[in-house]
Every structure is written in C-alpha cells, then in structure tokens.
Amino acid sequence: MGILSSILYALTRKERIALVLALVLFAVASVTKAVVVVQERSIFVPVSGGMYREGVVGQPQVINPVLSGNQTDQELSALLYGRLGVLADRIEISEDERTYTITLKQDLVWDDGELLTSDDVVFTVKTIQDPEVRSSLYKNWQGVIVERISALQIKFTLPSPFVFFNDTVANLSIIPKHVFSTIPASNIRLSSYNLEPIGSGPYSFRSFSKRRDGFITEYRLVANEDYVGDTPYIEEFYFRFYEDDEALMGAFRTRDIDGFGILSLPNEGIRELPNAQIIQIPMTRYYAVFFNPKATSMLKNETFREALSLAIDKDALVNDVLRNEGNPIDGPFYADIGPVYEGFDPERAADLITEAKEDSDTKTLVIKLMMPDVPFIKDVAEFIKNEWKEAGVDEVTTISLNNEDFFSVVLRERNYEAVLFGNVLEHNLDLFPFWHSSERFYPGLNLSFYADDAVDIALEDIRQNGNVTDRREEFIRAAMRIQKNTPAAFLFSLPYTYVHGSRLYGVSFDSFITVPSERFRNVTSWYVTRARVLNNQPIVEPKPSQ
C-alpha cells in the first residue's frame, strides 16, 4: 500500500486522473469480455414453472370432448383430455384396412387417480354412437364396431376401408367411464363434471371463478405430472373470459392476460398493442357463397352461377374488406392447395347475366344472400352485393341470422337461395363431407346440393386409396371439376391470428390447423421461465486474418 501511495504521490494530477481512467476502462472491458464469453458459451433453456393467462371471448358450457360444441369448450378440452394418439402405445391396421387394434400405454391414470383402461375407450366410442347423447362426433363413428380385447387393447372394425380412420382414432379424446357411466345419456350434458372435468391431458382442472350473474371469469389449470406425454413447462395455465374483443384487447393492454387468439377478422387495433407478438397461423378453412339450384331457375343455370362468381373482385375483397389478412381462392380448397386465383372478369360477368336474363322469363333479377351474424362476414356480403349489382343483378337482399336461426334455417332446413359461409377441411383434404351427393341434406355439409357422378366416384376412391400421391392427384382432379361446375363462388381463406406477449417462448406452428384448439398441440413446449446454462458444444474461435 505504501509503494502504491508513493507512486501516486510521484504522479502529477493529470497523470493520476489518466491512471484512474485507464483502470476504470480496464475494469469495464474485463466485465464486458466476461459477459460476451458467458453469452458465447451458454444458451437459454426452458425451466419448469410460471403462469400463463390466455384470454378468450365467450363462456365454457360443456367441457367434454364428446359433447363440446363451442370454441371455448374445445380449447379447454384440448388441454384437459388426452387424445388416443398420445395414450396409445401402438396402432395396428389389418391388411384389408378394416380392423384397427389399439394397445394403450401402461399405467395411464385419470386426474383423480383411477386407472385409464380400454373400458374408458370403449365407453367413449359407445357414448358418441348413442343418438340420445347428440355428439358432434356421431357421424365419424357411425357403423364402427368397438370391442374390448383386454385391459389395454381395443379393436375397431369398419364396414369398409377408410384411409382417414387412423386420423379419427388418433384425434379421439377419451372420457372417464367411472365418472359418466351412471348418468343417463339424455342427462350427460347436465353433469357438473362438464364444468369440473376429470381428464388425462397435459393439464388438470383446479378451480374456476364466476360473477354473481353467473358469468365465468376464470378457469385455473395446473400441469398434470402424470400426463403420459411430455410434461408441460408452464406450471399454471389460466383462461380468462371476456364478453367482446374490445374487453379482450383491453385486458392485454393492462397485462391482465398474456395472450389470445382471434378466429374471425382481427380488429385493426391489434397491430397497436404494446409488446405484442402477432402470429398468423394458416387454417384449412375457406369461405364461399354456396348457391341453392333448387331455390330458383336462375341459380340452376350453371352459366349464371359462373357470372356471379366472375363478378366478384376477390383481390379487392381481400385488400379492402379483409385488410390483406386473407388470400383469394378459386376452388373448394384453402390457399396454397389450388391454382392461383384468376377469376375476376366483370365484363364477361355482365354479358353472361344479360344473356341469362334474355333466355329466361325473369325481368327483375333478385337474389337473397344469407349469412351468420358475424361483423366481417356481413362486410363481405355488402361487398358482394355491390359487385353483383354492378354486373347487372337488379336487387340483392342480405340477411344475417343469429347462430340458432342459422343452424335451423340454413344447415337443417336448407332454406336459402345463396349462403355465405365457411368450410373447414381436415388435414387429409377429404372433400367428401362437402361435395359428395350423399351429403346434400342435414347433417351433411353439401350446401350447394351438388351432385356429379364423376366427383362422387373420385371422392369415394380417395377415401379408400392408401397411396398419398395418387390420393392428392385425384383430389385435385375432383376439385377442378367442382370448380368448373361453379356450385359456389369461392372467395378466400383466412388465417387464425394468435397474439402473445414477449415473455412466452417455445411457440411454433409448422403446419395448418383446422380449428383454433389445435394451437395447443405443442403447448407442452411453451415456457415462460428460462435459465442460462453452459453450452456443451465447443466454441470455435475465429482464425486470425492472414
């Protein structure tokens, strides 16, 4: 210390200041170098723990995968109930592709500690097949014989080969027999277990809160340590419920929620949310105007239907109404599957409409266009109305219906001239439910009453052809023929918009989703806490320049 004092005493004032500055710079440089070295030789890794709060517009009603109808129920079910594809150790398919033998993994348990066995799988399928239950999955399992082989084995027998049945099996969520078997089928929707579920999924139900008026405000889930798949990193997963999009986005602004999704057209204000990470997840859904040829003689005319399709400027529709959120399409498929859209020809549309008028006894051409009461769909309908009137249609009446009336008038009774609606294809590109002639009446989804022998044969062959390449080629041929017949004016596909804050990691969507709940397929990889650890990979130092 004396030597240091002597040195400092011997220096001039300027020299002492220079020395101090040099020492400070050396210290800063050393710390900076240390930080850089740590960053170069370490990586962030997920750490279990933390909480994530998902915002949802709507209310849970029946959190049961056999019964779930609304979007909120489906999303909660996706986290609370295990899918057979995850619960199964293996799925074996017979040579004739009619018999599927499923072997469950050992030691599967429900949230209440009871064993999950083949009895639960058999019970789930038979519950779906019971008409009194009114399951939304009823048609998928019609005609399938289910048998218990052992405590861990089940056999499904099909009346005929169906190449997509493997997807049906893998996506089946299992419900507990010991909980629901004592409840009459007609009362199963009334069970309190539909709001306090006992499942086997990545998360388990803990509790929920509601206001005095009955509005459920929050569902609290906790990571299921007994889940047979990967245990989630996020320990607590909360759902918070709101009455509209404005309240939802307000909750994100005030950090009451960490993320949310929007199925319809996103609000313009979504781009201005603070610290928002916005992901556009492509969906297998598309929107179209479906024509009912039984309603009027004009709509039976293929040339007239073609004119109505040609009259719609889909690029302008996407740009002006959808604010560039969607993609125009020109056939019964979502974007990236069919041909590039080239279908706008207003002059030809006007000529064809004029010819159709002259060839008929119709002096005043009137079309009634129905749609669900959804704001952006009503905006799309107004755009189409103006396009059709510009092309020569004398009057277009737009009629929006609430969910109950839309289901009754459109889906069940098929009482419409034209309907603006969306179709959702499965990942397997099965067009059968929407375009096979057997699906023209409820509960089928062939809203255009389309019937074509060649297309019927193609769609039947697709369901029995095990060759993926051949199946895809046949799909394209069938889709092109449907497009040529113009049973509908195909409009656009729309992605699912998911928004989350900057503190959520591990979120990735590598493929299309069919429904919003599929965004949780990799939820076990999401994390909100992380730690820096040394990287075992050697750091390659840069070579000195020659």
DSSP assignment letter at 489 = E
Reduce the DSSP state of residue 116 to 3 states and report it: coil
> Which tokens sit at 453?
């022998």
> Which tokens sit at 257?
């929620």
* CA separation for the pair 513, 521 (Å, rounded): 10
Work out the mean pLDDT of the chain and round it to a whole number: 90
Reduce the DSSP state of residue 232 to 3 states and report it: coil
> pLDDT confidence of 15, banded at 50, 70, 90?
low
Residues 276-304 have a mean pLDDT of 94
Q: Could you report the per-residue pLDDT of 500-524, keeping only the tens digit for each?
A: 999 999 998 878 999 999 999 999 9
For residue 119, give Cα distances in angstroms to 128, 154, 157, 229, 390.
14, 9, 17, 21, 62
Give, in words, the CATH class of 42-60+201-283+502-546: alpha beta
Q: Residue 140: is its pLDDT beyond 60?
A: yes
Q: Do the beta carbons of residue 389 and residue 298 sit within 8 Å?
A: no
pLDDT, position 541 = 38
- Stretch among 41-45, 459-463, 488-492 having the lowest mean pLDDT: 41-45
In degrees and rounded to multiples of 5, residue 429 shows phi and psi of 60, 40
> pLDDT confidence of 40, banded at 50, 70, 90?
low
Q: Could you report the per-residue pLDDT of 224-261, keeping only the tens digit for each?
A: 999 999 999 999 999 999 999 999 999 999 999 999 99
pLDDT, position 4 = 57
Q: Which of 220-224, 278-282, 344-348, 457-461 has the highest mean pLDDT?
A: 220-224
Element spanning 208, H or E: strand 203-210
> Which tokens sit at 445?
């989804």
pLDDT, position 43 = 80
For residue 189, give Cα distances in angstroms to 59, 61, 82, 194.
15, 9, 20, 7
Could you tell me the CATH superfamily of domain 82-198?
A: Dipeptide-binding Protein; Domain 1 (3.90.76.10)
Q: Residue 536: is its pLDDT beyond 80?
A: no
Among 222, 165, 173, which Cα is nearest to 73's?
173
Residues 20-44 have a mean pLDDT of 66
* CA separation for the pair 56, 405 (Å, rounded): 24
Could you tell me the CATH superfamily of domain 285-493?
A: Dipeptide-binding Protein; Domain 3 (3.10.105.10)
Residues 88-99 have a mean pLDDT of 96
Sort strands 366-372 and 418-424 into parallel, antiparallel or unpaired: parallel
Residues 328-333 have a mean pLDDT of 89
Q: Could you report the per-residue pLDDT of 143-163, keeping only the tens digit for each?
A: 999 999 999 999 999 999 999
Q: Residue 357: is its pLDDT beyond 90?
A: no
Residues 408-434 have a mean pLDDT of 93
pLDDT, position 25 = 74
Question: Over the Cα atoms of the chain, what is R_g?
Answer: 30
> pLDDT confidence of 543, banded at 50, 70, 90?
very low
DSSP assignment letter at 228 = S
Listed by start position, the domains of the chain span: 42-60+201-283+502-546, 82-198, 285-493
Element spanning 177, H or E: helix 177-180
- Over 413-465, what HEC string results? CCCCCEEEEEEECCCCCCCHHHHCHHHCCCCCCCCCCCCCHHHHHHHHHHCCC
- Stretch among 175-184, 353-362, 402-411 having the lowest mean pLDDT: 353-362
pLDDT, position 207 = 98
pLDDT exceeding 70 applies to what percent of the chain? 90
- Over 72-114, what HEC string results? HHHHHHHHHCCEHHHHEEEEEECCCCCEEEEEECCCCECCCCC
* CA separation for the pair 160, 404 (Å, rounded): 35
Reduce the DSSP state of residue 399 to 3 states and report it: strand
> Which tokens sit at 430?
């099965």
> Which tokens sit at 40?
């170069």
pLDDT, position 19 = 63
Sort strands 145-148 and 153-157 into parallel, antiparallel or unpaired: antiparallel
* CA separation for the pair 373, 284 (Å, rounded): 22
Q: Residue 80: is its pLDDT beyond 70?
A: yes
* CA separation for the pair 520, 53 (Å, rounded): 13
AA identity, residue 339: P
Please provide the distance, in angstroms rounded to a whole number, between the alpha carbons at the two ends of the chain.
45
